[in-house]
Amino acid sequence: MKTIGLIGGMSWESSSVYYRIINEEIRERLGGFHSAKCVMVSVDFAEIEAYQRAGDWDQAAEAMIAAARQVEAAGADMLLICTNTMHKLAPEVKQAVKLPLLHIADATASAVKEAGIRKVGLLGTRFTMEEPFYTSRLQENGLEVLVPEEADRKEVDRIIFEELVQGEIRLPSKAKYIDVMSGLVQAGAGGIILGCTEIGLLVSSGDCDVPVFDTTLVHAHAGVDAALAD
């Protein structure tokens, strides 16, 4: 079994889900007393969020690279960044370490295509929904990507930062997300990507008429696949 390296803390709410899923999946596949070999460096999200808000991606990159090097020094065999938004800096992080980086958008695109879906709706932070670092990665993997209208993007983003990363689950916000997902389905989406690792805390596959791809679950399973690969 290889050692899974994780950069977490963005937010710790979803990072804890990564840890649980990875260990549950290892136990399911190997049985007995097996658990995952993994290391996690958890950053202070207040610092990262401030860099995001200020558009200071150079400082954010320095923080991510420092965390990645800590993961590498701890003996990990691969690297997972436990957040969709910070994959904006995946190229910089990948260049700074020798570890293979398991990109969350690649893992998600593979899961979507395996389900026979080519057009998907995407929910996430405004960075993830609006900037090409994520949507273009999905498109390079052969997917057509739909995002909500601007007003809905703002509300989806607000709920993430004001509620979900604080561990707050509110029924009106869940209703809003379900409404936004429904709109994407009506626009032709054959599946919905929960492109923020906290969104799965609020909505799930039972809340939509088409398949829902929780990137936290997909990414964690990809890590286990890599850890157990020959």
Same domain? For 21 and 45 the reply is yes
Same domain? For 90 and 110 the reply is no
**Tell me, what CATH number does 33's domain have?**
3.40.50.1860
Same domain? For 134 and 167 the reply is yes
Same domain? For 203 and 187 the reply is yes
Domain that holds residue 65: 4-103+218-228
Phi then psi for residue 4, to 5 deg, are: -85, 125
The pTM of this model reads 0.94
Same domain? For 169 and 85 the reply is no
Q: Find out whether 169 and 211 touch, Cβ atoms under 8 Å.
A: no
pLDDT at 230: 79
Q: How confident is the model at residue 10 (pLDDT cuts 50, 70, 90)?
A: very high
Same domain? For 74 and 111 the reply is no
Same domain? For 98 and 111 the reply is no
Same domain? For 12 and 42 the reply is yes
Number of structural domains in the chain: 2
**pLDDT tens readout for residues 101-158:** 999 999 999 999 999 999 999 999 999 999 999 999 999 999 999 999 999 999 999 9
**pLDDT tens readout for residues 82-103:** 999 999 999 999 999 999 999 9
Phi then psi for residue 203, to 5 deg, are: -130, 160
Same domain? For 154 and 182 the reply is yes
Q: Is 196 noted as a catalytic residue in this protein? A: yes
Same domain? For 127 and 190 the reply is yes
Rounded-to-integer distance, Cα 223 and Cα 17, Å: 13
Of 125, 128, 135, 196, which one is the catalytic site residue? Answer: 196
Of 82, 83, 85, 197, which one is the catalytic site residue? Answer: 83
**pLDDT tens readout for residues 163-219:** 999 999 999 999 999 999 999 999 999 999 999 999 999 999 899 999 999 999 999
* CA trace torsion 75, 77, 79, 80 (10° rounding): -110
pLDDT at 75: 97
Same domain? For 116 and 51 the reply is no
Q: Is 82 noted as a catalytic residue in this protein? A: no
Same domain? For 122 and 91 the reply is no
How many other CB atoms sit within 10 Å of the CB of residue 148?
A: 21
Residue 159 one-letter amino acid: I
Give the chain as a 3 state SS string: CCCEEEEECCCHHHHHHHHHHHHHHHHHHHCCCCCCCEEEEECCHHHHHHHHHHCCHHHHHHHHHHHHHHHHHCCCCEEEECCCHHHHHHHHHHHHCCCCECCHHHHHHHHHHHCCCCEEEEECCHHHHHCHHHHHHHHHCCCEEECCCHHHHHHHHHHHHHCHHHCCCCHHHHHHHHHHHHHHHHCCCCEEEECCCCHHHCCCHHHCCCCEEEHHHHHHHHHHHHHHCC
pLDDT at 133: 95
